[in-house]
Amino acid sequence: MSSPSPQPKPPRRSLLETYFRLAPVTVPLYAILVACLAGSLFILGAGANPLVAYGALLDGALGSPDRIASTVARSTPFIIGALAVALGFKAGLFNIGAEGQLLLGALTAAWVGTWSWLAGTPPLLAVPFVLVAGVVGGMVWGFIPGVLKARTGAHEVITTIMLNAIALGIASFLITSRDPALLIDDRASTPHTREVAASVRLPTLVEGTGLHLGIVLALALCAATWFVLQRTTPGFEIRTVGVSREAARYAGMRVDRTVIVVMTASGALAGIAGAAEVIGSGSGYLTPGAFTNIGFDSIAIALLARGNPLAVVPAALLWGALLSGAPLMQVEADLSVNLVRIVQALIILFVAADAIIRLLFRIRAPRGVDVGEPAVFARGWGG
Amino acid sequence: MPVLRVRGLTKRFPGVTANSDVDLTLHRGEILCLLGENGAGKSTLMNIVFGLYQPDEGQIEVQGHPVAFSSSADAIASGIGMVHQHFQLIPVMTVAENVVLGKESRRGPFLDIDKARAEVRELSRRYGLDVDPDAIVGDLSVGAQQRVELVKALYRDADILILDEPTAVLTPQEVVEFFDVVRSLVESGKSVIFITHKLREVLAVADTVVIMRAGKVVAAMPASGATEQSLATSMVGREVGFEVTKGLAAPGQVVLAVRDLQVADDRGHTTVRGLELEVRSGEILGIAGVEGNGQRELVEALAGMRTPLAGSVEILGHDTTGWSPRRVEMLGVGHVPEDRAKHGLVGTYPITDNLVLNRYHRRQFSRRFLLDRAAMTRNANDLIQRFDVRTPSPHVLAGTLSGGNQQKIVMARELSGDLRLLLVAQPTRGLDVGSIEFIHRQVVERRDAGVAVLLVSAELDEILSLADRVGVLYRGTLAAVMDRADATREKIGLLMAGGGEVA
């Protein structure tokens, strides 16, 4: 009864249908709008003018070519990190562990990047080598929860949270330990790792803004992930496992293996995010507490992008823009940068609870047209 | 004065008019059969009468008074009770607790369970329902659970009882007993609306028949004088062929041989216990039986989705015990699963992708790791035409299609290619007569082309019209296997109820 009787007419797309196809885009857009409006209540409460504040935010993020470059630089690790989380979503896995995987990738890259023989190697070989090292670091941290899930049914949310804590401990030990001195640069006054060789550094794109070649890598990875998911047989298996484990089993797909592969690949991507930051950003070394929250923010961005590997790019750019515009807002409107955090949280709140937005703006759920299967954000515990 | 009168009722859902200007009159002491195909609007109509939906237009009168229900609580207060197809019972509680749940008699702050037990006993005595108030519901047979549902409605003083497809879960013998109960209910002054799509039952029990088609009442008549053919014609809107036309089977070599098979269900209970069977090419072995006797586990074990505890499965000379679904499928085994929405299809995938759900890895659809989208679309267009799937485009999401069209997609996929063995479970559940005819024809065609077919169905009519040999699955073993010619409805019915052990 609920099924509309299909008419045998050619599939010409009506204006209305086009509108509904856009619903996956309109919901996040409206969510951003509502979040900004709600955020202005906080700004008013803090005694500032929302227009001035948002104006300064915009100016700080996009006010000049250099500022735009800084925003993009800021967004780069978010793009790759969110892509890692989004890939997990596609297989119905909620990888909370991007934070730890990213850190492990950064650590291995920071360590391998100091190997002396790399200093004399041409960058064309040295850079990929260090990136692969980062991949390996992240992979290990993704493979563990994958195997635990597939073999024992341990829920990835629990295991990845725990692995985050372990990764943090490992990183802090490796970076700060002086006796034995492991990765620490013992000539430095504040603890940080030794600087990686010049030959493994990613080329800077815009001087003085921190924008490095990592952005190109990030965009390429998004496109590649989209292609793998949509156009290849492993991608077909990943998506099927994500929307219906039962159907995947029926169709002869190896569900357990897919879970392991996706968690490992997700960890690998997060590892690249960390590695690219180490060898791309200014310092070339790791400090304790570096990259804090990039992995967690990546989860939020992946949610905003609704698990779509291409939508991750604009979502991460928005995220980066809010963060890189915040300091100017703080100066001009005399507001805490934490306000940006509030707006970010509101955006995710409205995206996750999209029923609110659909109700406010009367957006109907798309019906009957192929807009791509919905991302499964999380399954029941132990599912 | 009628006890229930529905006038000019219309209910629209986005894109569909589920009920359009429906009239219906129910008198005291009457059994009214509401007959119609799936999607004809029967359930919507009854859900409106029971207060679960609100009508867009029209009026409902109970005992002559106009009523407007905003919830089922209002309907219950007006003396209407409904027994749903899926029972709403809590298995871990006793019968008495289930019956009084939501309308408990109290003694101070405490539940007066003794009073509840006495009332249940009294109700079951008065209507001949045979229900033990202290039994745990989960331990009861499906038939007994249904009686508990009836007691529940009667406990709430229902005068009008709506029964939604009550016989779907019963054995033929239980159906006979159930009809006795229904008759005793109307004799004591209750009125019954009985939703069904089985013509035989209408003729057996109804006083009045109301036939719905596409949301409208197309006929209302006394049951006396109606024939199966006349009912079917007005239900479907055209002449219907009941008998599947098929010639004699020409069985060839053994394709599927199962020896001493034991399989456990998801909870670890062994539900297939030492089952043996053989299916030859060019024949249909029909497995009858009440659901839950191991059908699901049997088929899944044969298709590689479930590893047997013991025993062996041999397909085309290969010992396939413990093989993966992929390896089994590569032998030329088609599997139409019992739950098409859960296993057979991905509702959020377009038809194109569903038609390659388990074949995407073949050279035809992918090279190395790259999917050949063009080939998938060609395949879809071809199969949509051959299997008469009604859809505007191959890119429509499978989940938006009707059940019949969804099943045609599963059939199209599983029946295409080099097929040697076909496993079909409950292939026509929930489908309209037109789709059933089509699917039956397809199965017989494959048989004639030399495919070995194992058909598992809870619909006895389906088994009797399709099978060349009939087996009855009872508690995980085949109670008997006989030629179709020897398989009478009575004999099979008795075996389905476990009568084979005594006989």
Are B16 and A4 an interchain contact pair (Cβ–Cβ within 8 Å)? yes
d(CA B388, CA B242): 20
Q: Which of B38, B388, B397 to mutate to test the interface with A (most CBs of A within 10 A)?
A: B397
**What's the mean pLDDT in A354-378?**
57
How many Cβ atoms sit within 10 Å of the Cβ of residue A362?
Answer: 7
Please give the pLDDT value at position B434. Answer: 76
How many Cβ atoms sit within 10 Å of the Cβ of residue A203?
Answer: 11
Predicted confidence band at A21 (pLDDT cuts at 50, 70, 90)? Answer: low
| In a domain? residue A8 | no
Q: Which of A232, A250, A253 to mutate to test the interface with B (most CBs of B within 10 A)?
A: A250
CA distance B366 to chain A (A): 7
Q: Is the pLDDT of residue A57 over 80?
A: yes
Could you tell me the pTM of the whole model? 0.81
| In a domain? residue A12 | no
Are A8 and B369 an interchain contact pair (Cβ–Cβ within 8 Å)? no
Q: Is the pLDDT of residue A373 over 50?
A: no
Are A1 and B361 an interchain contact pair (Cβ–Cβ within 8 Å)? no
| In a domain? residue A37 | no
Which tokens hold the place of A369?
């047209």
Which among B18, B343, B361 has the least Cβ separation from residue A246? B343
Looking at B201-269, which runs of residues are DSSP E strands? 208-213, 216-222, 254-264
Instruction: Give the chain B residue whose CA is nearest to the CA of A367.
Output: B400
Please give the pLDDT value at position B358. Answer: 94
CA distance B40 to chain A (A): 8
CA distance A102 to chain B (A): 28
On whether any CB of chain B is under 8 Å from the CB of A6, the answer is: yes
Are A368 and B337 an interchain contact pair (Cβ–Cβ within 8 Å)? no
Q: Is the pLDDT of residue B502 over 70?
A: no
- Note the ipTM here: 0.83
Answer positive or negative: Cα dihedral of B84, B85, B88, B92: positive
Spell out the domains of chain B, with CATH numbers in brackets: 4-236 (3.40.50.300), 249-332+419-503 (3.40.50.300), 347-417 (no CATH)
Point out which residues pair with B285 in neighbouring strands.
B454, B469
On whether any CB of chain B is under 8 Å from the CB of A251, the answer is: yes
| Residues of B whose CB is below 8 A from A258 | none
Are A252 and B329 an interchain contact pair (Cβ–Cβ within 8 Å)? yes
Instruction: Give the chain A residue whose CA is nearest to the CA of B17.
Output: A1
Which among A233, A246, A247 has the least Cβ separation from residue B371? A233
Predicted confidence band at B242 (pLDDT cuts at 50, 70, 90)? Answer: low
Are A369 and B390 an interchain contact pair (Cβ–Cβ within 8 Å)? no
Among A16, A21, A35, residue whose Cα is nearest residue A360:
A35
Q: Which of B335, B346, B358 to mutate to test the interface with A (most CBs of A within 10 A)?
A: B346
Q: Is the pLDDT of residue A122 over 70?
A: yes
d(CA B460, CA B493): 8
Instruction: Give the chain A residue whose CA is nearest to the CA of B43.
Output: A1
Please give the pLDDT value at position B461. Answer: 86
| Residues of B whose CB is below 8 A from A246 | 342-343
| In a domain? residue A261 | yes
SS3 B314: strand
Please give the pLDDT value at position A1. Answer: 39
Q: Which long-range contacts (CB under 8 A, 24 or more apart) does B20-23 make?
A: B20/B215, B20/B216, B21/B57, B21/B58, B21/B216, B22/B58, B22/B212, B22/B215, B22/B216, B22/B217, B23/B217, B23/B220
Q: Is B451 in contact with B419 (CB distance < 8 Å)?
A: yes
Are B16 and A1 an interchain contact pair (Cβ–Cβ within 8 Å)? yes
On whether any CB of chain B is under 8 Å from the CB of A231, the answer is: yes
| In a domain? residue A343 | no
Please give the pLDDT value at position B249. Answer: 85
Q: Is the pLDDT of residue B32 over 90?
A: yes
pLDDT tens digit sequence for A307-323? 999 999 999 999 999 99
Looking at B338-489, which runs of residues are DSSP E strands? 366-367, 370-371, 421-425, 452-456, 469-474, 477-483
Are B346 and A244 an interchain contact pair (Cβ–Cβ within 8 Å)? yes
Q: Is the pLDDT of residue A5 over 60?
A: no
- Cβ contacts of A159 within 8 Å, gap of 6 or more: A97, A144, A145, A148, A149
CATH number, domain containing residue A77: 1.10.3470
Instruction: Give the chain B residue whose CA is nearest to the CA of A376.
Output: B348
| Residues of B whose CB is below 8 A from A254 | 324
Look at chain A and report how many structural domains it folds into. 1
DSSP 8-state secondary structure symbol assigned to residue B167: G
d(CA B461, CA B372): 42
pLDDT tens digit sequence for B397-441? 998 887 888 999 999 999 988 899 999 999 988 777 778 888 999
Which among A6, A249, A367 has the least Cβ separation from residue B305? A249
Which among B325, B343, B371 has the least Cβ separation from residue A231? B371
| In a domain? residue A84 | yes
Domain of A60, in residue numbers: 49-334
Q: Is the pLDDT of residue A381 over 80?
A: no
How many Cβ atoms sit within 10 Å of the Cβ of residue B106?
Answer: 10
CA distance A78 to chain B (A): 29
Instruction: Give the chain B residue whose CA is nearest to the CA of A250.
Output: B343
pLDDT tens digit sequence for B139-168? 888 888 888 999 999 999 999 999 988 887
Please give the pLDDT value at position B324. Answer: 95
Please give the pLDDT value at position A91. Answer: 95
| In a domain? residue A380 | no
